[in-house]
Amino acid sequence: MKKIAIDMDGVLANIYSQFHKMHLEEYGETIADEEIDGVEERQAFPGASKYVRNQGFFRTAPVIDDCQRVVEKLTGYYDIFIVSAALEFPNSLNEKLLWLEEHFPFITWKQTVFCGSKDIIRADMMIDDHFRNLDTFMGETYLFTQPHNKLADCGVHKRVSNWLEIEKLLIL
Amino acid sequence: MKKIAIDMDGVLANIYSQFHKMHLEEYGETIADEEIDGVEERQAFPGASKYVRNQGFFRTAPVIDDCQRVVEKLTGYYDIFIVSAALEFPNSLNEKLLWLEEHFPFITWKQTVFCGSKDIIRADMMIDDHFRNLDTFMGETYLFTQPHNKLADCGVHKRVSNWLEIEKLLIL
């Protein structure tokens, strides 16, 4: 079976929802979506670097629409690996494991990868919201739309806006 | 630069020393090296599955001879990644990070990978003591001698018995 490397933050876990919530708590104001289209996360939310270190940031992130059902379905057709560049925030490792266990109980420890750089990943496809991960990958690359990459020309990568599109592309 | 994926347990960390120590503590007897040549770890030490879950098992493992100096030297010639199948024992993640920080301070979070299966690793070379990791790897493979693999025909892999041999093969 072909292997798919699927990113966590911004692909499975709704990190923007956490940023918005914590920004509102800190500054008492909301940021409109269109204000931060094309803006890097750490510029869009001045507290972002702090928020990702908050206890619970990763553990309580909501799940992105439809991904549980579609990822489970994909496991019937592909070897699925969840690949997260989690080593930047060592405290996130346990939160991420618990989050996966709760929301993706069908994903085993054998299918989980916590790395720093994704340059070392070998698979047939990669789904990720960051160019830095896709650009060095040898295989088919899918750029998952998030505000920070929304205005960019996706170049050699195929843009996917949600999990229903991925379902259509990879299964239907 | 070419990438090398280096295993932790049995290649950098002296896991057998921990097994011997804990076996002695539990059974009050020592096991002679030649008794366990060619025997899988979990058969050689009846308590092995329990020992690896003991707090401190990974954190207090001694470092295998010469590997700190040689790995540091290798970083001048290769992109080094430390790749550990650590997800089987989630409690080991923090211990392994602290161990690396103490003994390999020159290895950054970007060079660290904690995975389940190593099927997803792409590099030019892999140094590992387990056939299951080397057999599916696409690249040069080095079997690091440990008692459990000592009697096996290493097949397509190149056998290396210590870090001085690796230094000679990859640098000198």
> Is B126 touching A (CB cutoff 8 A)?
no
| CB-CB neighbors (< 8 A) of B104 in chain A | none
Mean pLDDT of B129-138: 96
Q: In this structure, what are the phi and psi dihedrals at residue A108, rounded to the nearest 5 degrees?
A: -95, 170
Which of B83, B87, B108, B118 has the most A C-beta neighbours within 10 Å, making it the best mutation to test the interface with A? B87
pLDDT of residue B67: 98
Structure token pair of residue A151? 């205005």
* DSSP letters for B80-145: EEEEE-GGGSTTHHHHHHHHHHHH-TTS-GGGEEEES-GGGB--SEEEES-HHHHTT-SSEEEEE-
Greater confidence, B144 or B88?
Answer: B144
Distances (CA, A) of A54 to A51, A66, A102: 5, 26, 20
pLDDT of residue B90: 86
Looking at residue A63, the DSSP 8-state letter turns out to be: B
Strands of A3-6's sheet, edge to edge?
Answer: A158-160, A140-144, A125-128, A3-6, A79-84, A112-115, B112-115, B79-84, B3-6, B125-128, B140-144, B158-160
The answer to whether the beta carbons of residues A5 and A81 sit under 8 Å apart is yes
Distance (Å) from the C-alpha of residue A31 to the closest C-alpha of chain B?
32
pLDDT of residue B34: 87
Give the strand pairing for B3-6 and A125-128.
unpaired
Mean pLDDT of A90-94: 89
Identify the helix (H) or strand (E) that includes residue A123.
none
| CB-CB neighbors (< 8 A) of B113 in chain A | 87, 113-116, 120
> Is A80 touching B (CB cutoff 8 A)?
no
Confidence of residue A165 (pLDDT cuts 50, 70, 90): very high
Confidence of residue B29 (pLDDT cuts 50, 70, 90): very high
Confidence of residue B27 (pLDDT cuts 50, 70, 90): very high
Give burial (CB, 10 Å; 0-12/13-18/19+) of B139. Answer: middle
Confidence of residue A9 (pLDDT cuts 50, 70, 90): very high
* DSSP letters for A4-28: EEE-SBTTTB-HHHHHHHHHHHHHS
Mean pLDDT of A119-139: 97
Sorted by sequence, the CB contacts under 8 Å of residue A172 that are 6+ apart come out as: none
Distance (Å) from the C-alpha of residue B105 to the closest C-alpha of chain A?
15
* pLDDT tens digit sequence for A77-86: 999 999 999 9
As a whole number of angstroms, the distance between CA A89 and CA A128 comes to 18
> Is B119 touching A (CB cutoff 8 A)?
yes
Looking at every residue in chain A, the average pLDDT score rounds to 96
> Is A100 touching B (CB cutoff 8 A)?
no
Mean pLDDT of B14-18: 97
Return the bridge partners of B84, or none: B114
Question: Is residue B99 predicted with pLDDT exceeding 80?
Answer: yes
Mean pLDDT of B123-131: 98
Question: Which residue numbers of B are catalytic?
Answer: 7, 9
Question: Is residue B59 predicted with pLDDT exceeding 90?
Answer: yes
Distance (Å) from the C-alpha of residue A163 to the closest C-alpha of chain B?
23
- CB-CB under 8 Å, A110 with B112: no
Structure token pair of residue A90? 């060592």
Question: Is residue B149 predicted with pLDDT exceeding 80?
Answer: yes
Distance (Å) from the C-alpha of residue B109 to the closest C-alpha of chain A?
6
> Is B161 touching A (CB cutoff 8 A)?
no
pLDDT of residue B91: 85
* pLDDT tens digit sequence for A23-53: 999 999 999 988 999 999 999 999 999 999 9
> Is A108 touching B (CB cutoff 8 A)?
yes
Nearest to B122 among A79, A88, A122 (CB): A122
As a whole number of angstroms, the distance between CA A33 and CA A35 comes to 5
Question: Is residue A172 predicted with pLDDT exceeding 80?
Answer: no
pLDDT of residue A91: 85
Question: Is residue B164 predicted with pLDDT exceeding 80?
Answer: yes
As a whole number of angstroms, the distance between CA A123 and CA A146 comes to 23
Which of A8, A52, A81, A117 has the most B C-beta neighbours within 10 Å, making it the best mutation to test the interface with B? A117
Residues in chain B: 172
Name the closest residue on chain A to residue B96, using Cα atoms: A90
Question: Is residue B109 predicted with pLDDT exceeding 80?
Answer: yes
